[in-house]
Structure 1
Amino acid sequence: MQNGIDGYKSGFISIIGRPNVGKSTFLNRVVGQKIAIMSDKPQTTRNKVQGVVTTDASQMIFIDTPGINEPRHKLGDFMLKVAKNTFREVDVLLFVASGVDRVGKEDRFVLEMLKGLDVPVFLVVNKIDQVHPDQLPKVIEGYKQEFDFAEVVPISALQGNNVENLLAKIGEYLPEGPQYYPADQITDHPERFIISELIREKALHLTREEVPHSIAVVIEKIAPDKEHEHMIRVQATIMVERDSQKGIVIGKRGAVLKEIGSRARKDIENLLGSKVFLELWVKVQKDWRNKSVHLRDFGFRDDEY
């Protein structure tokens, strides 16, 4: 622990922005391991996910938040509350924008919330690997006209371009403080949460239209397999809102569910460092995104934020 060393810095950094700008990709990049799931579906992240980056000089606790936009159901209200509640508990806010796009309505919706906060706000322009260098200054200037940012740092979270420079800039703004987590810890989330997210990620990748937004994953059991030594048995239920969605997730002769399980099992084995026997079921819980009791049952507890 670095608690007694003068000059050691530590602090909390919130990663915010509209959906699909690469916040989770950035978090996975800085911690060096997959702890936040990724897909091209808006609002893939639903809870806040904390990633810890520890060096000899500092410890940075990054908080990946759900993509912010105007909520359309109780789950959307929950996700907005999760993101907004990080504003008052961090030392730096990273507003992540896509360099591919100009400032839009959703970006302005987020920036409006940040006005008046007594926290340094960085503009992090992501996806610069997809932007012609001549276009980048115009994109940056568009955002600077909307908000007075403490720092502006263009990056590619996918390729790692300029990410180290961003970390160095963040370090300049952190206060002196203790090491909150052991040096080898990269997230504060239990394995059960990450496993449920890995399964949900594969379901997102393999389904279409309204189905991905209606999916939640509940881990029923994680335990050593009694029949096979050195193997872990994971039992999980994929929840959907309608019978038609259940059919899509299962697929013809169970093909889609089998593929979800096959892909998820590989990531879970990497996470646990062990062979995994994964059992999946699909159940219907009608309109669960608009029912507080089901949101709590599925892990979305707004009293924790």
Structure 2
Amino acid sequence: MEDNALSDAPVEAVSLTDAASVPADFAAPEGFRSGFVSFVGRPNTGKSTLTNALVGEKIAITADQPETTRHPIRGIVHRPRAQIILVDTPGLHRPRTLLGERLNEIVKDTYSDVDLICMCVPADEKIGPGDRWIVDAVRKVAPRTPLIGVVTKLDKVSKDRVGEQLLALHELLGGADVVPVSATKDVQLEVLKDVLTEHLPEGPKFYPDDHVTDDDRDTRMAELIREAALAGLHDELPHSVAVQIDEVMPSPTREGVLNVHAVIFVEREGQKAILRGKGGRRLSKTVHDARKEIIDLVGQNVYLDVRLKVAKNWQSDPKQLGRMGF
């Protein structure tokens, strides 16, 4: 069973090894530094927001619910004497489903490929067992990879509280460098870039200066639709939502319009009813909000067709997970 919401008003992840194999023939001055940096931490600690702020463009979706990020997203920070490739990963967590287990494996594989790992802890939450569990997991998988600490959301608490968190994270990481930042208020971001640069090895440019991410267009569109669908939902539903792009093609009847057809998958009929909303209003809003973001992404008018479909218990079904790219 499917539901359609139409808007006619004008208006798979690559490994770090694959990325590193891109011919590094882009001009770089002597002493240039480059490398891959992974942000890790519990879900919903501001990693995606920080990635977007450092890159200067939205490449990772954000939401109030935990476990929003589903695949490693690479954002590229260009500096005069450095190129920092940020890898925003799903939050490492104790998995409840097969999807959770596979996301954890993706994260652990990423750890072993990067040059630097940043442990992110929000200023407004005390460091707890979950944070210590993540640090232990990182050290087991990547014992030789340097670690630094990032205290996020510093604008949400007092200076004294930020200081306490910095000391606690410094101790948790065995004396590693720690940097407090606010991605939403643009506080200390240049300082963080300086610290990241200092920890990277000398190397070539891996990407041209006009690249901000290596995610393909369809993946970015699917993520924007998922972000719009998640807006305002309760914690119990977001993990069940997945989006696939069925078809993207120029409109045969409207010049300059790109037709985008997508499917939002959920696990149960009741969840589909929630996303559809009374009279289809929630789904219409999802289409409206996602379409605006996709127009900004592709730079042209878009006709967006979104259907809802049930894929029963897809988070725990190996075959369905495979079809969805996990």
Distance 2:118 2:182 in 1: 14
TM-score, normalised via structure 2 length: 0.89
Residues 1:249 and 2:241 aligned together: no
Report the 3-state secondary structure (helix = DSSP H, G, I; strand = E; otherwise coil) of the residue aligned with 2:159: coil
Structure 2 vs 1, CA of residues 172 and 86 (structure 1 numbering), >3 Å: closer, same or farther? same
State the SS of the aligned residue for 2:172.
Answer: coil
Q: Tell me, in whole angstroms, the C-alpha distance in 2 between the residues paired with 1:233 and 1:198.
A: 16
Moved more, 269-278 or 82-91: 82-91
User: Structure 1 pair 272/65, CA: closer, same or farther in 2 (3 Å)?
Assistant: same
Q: CA deviation at 1:4?
A: 6.0
2:156 maps to: 130
Q: Is the 8 A contact 2:28 2:205 kept in 1?
A: no
Superposition map of 1:113-124 within 5 A: 113-115=137-139, 117-124=143-150
Please give the secondary structure, in 2, of the residue aligned with 1:221: strand
The structural deviation recorded for 1:273 is: 0.6
Q: Give the Cα–Cα distance (whole angstroms) in 2 for the partners of residues 55 and 209 of structure 1.
A: 38
1:209 to 1:167, Cα distance in 2 relative to 1, 3 A: closer
Match among 230, 236, 242 for residue 256 of structure 2:
230
Alignment-derived partner of residue 184 in structure 2: 158
Mapped pair 1:268 → 2:299: no
Task: With a CA cutoff of 8 Å and minimum separation of 6, indicate the structure with the bigger relative contact order.
Answer: 2
CA deviation map 1:136-169 (0-9, x unaligned): 2212222233221431100001111001001011
Question: Match for 1:262: what amino acid?
Answer: H
Deviations 1:214-273 (A, max 9, x none): 000010011111111111010000000001111111112211110100000000000001
Q: Equivalents in 2 of 1:152, 1:21: separation in Å? A: 15
Aligned residue for 1:71? 95
Which SS does the other structure have where 1:166 is aligned? Answer: helix
**Would the aligned equivalents of 2:170 and 2:176 in 1 still touch at CA under 8 Å?**
no
Is the Cα contact below 8 Å between 1:206 and 1:260 reproduced in 2? no
Task: Name structure 1 gaps, 5 residues minimum.
Answer: 301-305
TM-superposed deviation, 1:127: 0.5
CA contact (8 A) 2:93 2:104 kept: yes
Rounded Cα–Cα distance in structure 1 between residues aligned with 2:252 and 2:178:
54
Give me the whole-angstrom Cα distance separating, in 2, the residues matched to 1:177 and 1:5.
Answer: 10
Contact 2:51–2:88 (CA<8 Å) still a contact in 1? yes
Following TM superposition, the consecutive aligned residue runs of length 4 or more in structure 1 with deviations greater than 6 angstroms are none
Task: Answer yes or no: is 1:214 the counterpart of 2:249.
Answer: no
Secondary structure of the residue aligned to 1:11 is: strand
Answer whether contact 1:123 1:149 (CA < 8 A) is retained.
Answer: no
Are 2:126 and 1:102 aligned? yes
Q: What is the total number of aligned residue pairs between the two structures? A: 300
Correspondence 1:198-209 to 2 at 5 A: 198-209=224-235
Structure 2 residue matching 1:134: 3-state secondary structure? helix
Identity %: 38
Alpha-carbon offset, residue 106 of structure 1: 1.5
- Partners in 1 of 2:33 and 2:310 — Cα distance? 48
Question: Contact 2:272 / 2:308 at 8 angstroms: preserved in 1?
Answer: yes
Q: Give how far 1:212 is off.
A: 1.4
Which of 112, 115, 135 is 2:136 aligned to?
A: 112
Unaligned runs of 5+ in 2: 1-24
In structure 2, the partner of 1:6 is 30
Q: Displacement of 1:114 after TM fit?
A: 2.5
- When normalised by structure 1's length, the TM-score is 0.95
Query: Structure 1 residue 208: deviation in Å?
Result: 2.7
| Distance in 1 between residues matched to 2:139 and 2:215, nearest whole Å | 30
1:185 CA drift (Å): 0.5
Tell me, yes or no, if the aligned pair for 1:99 and 1:128 is still in contact at 8 Å. yes
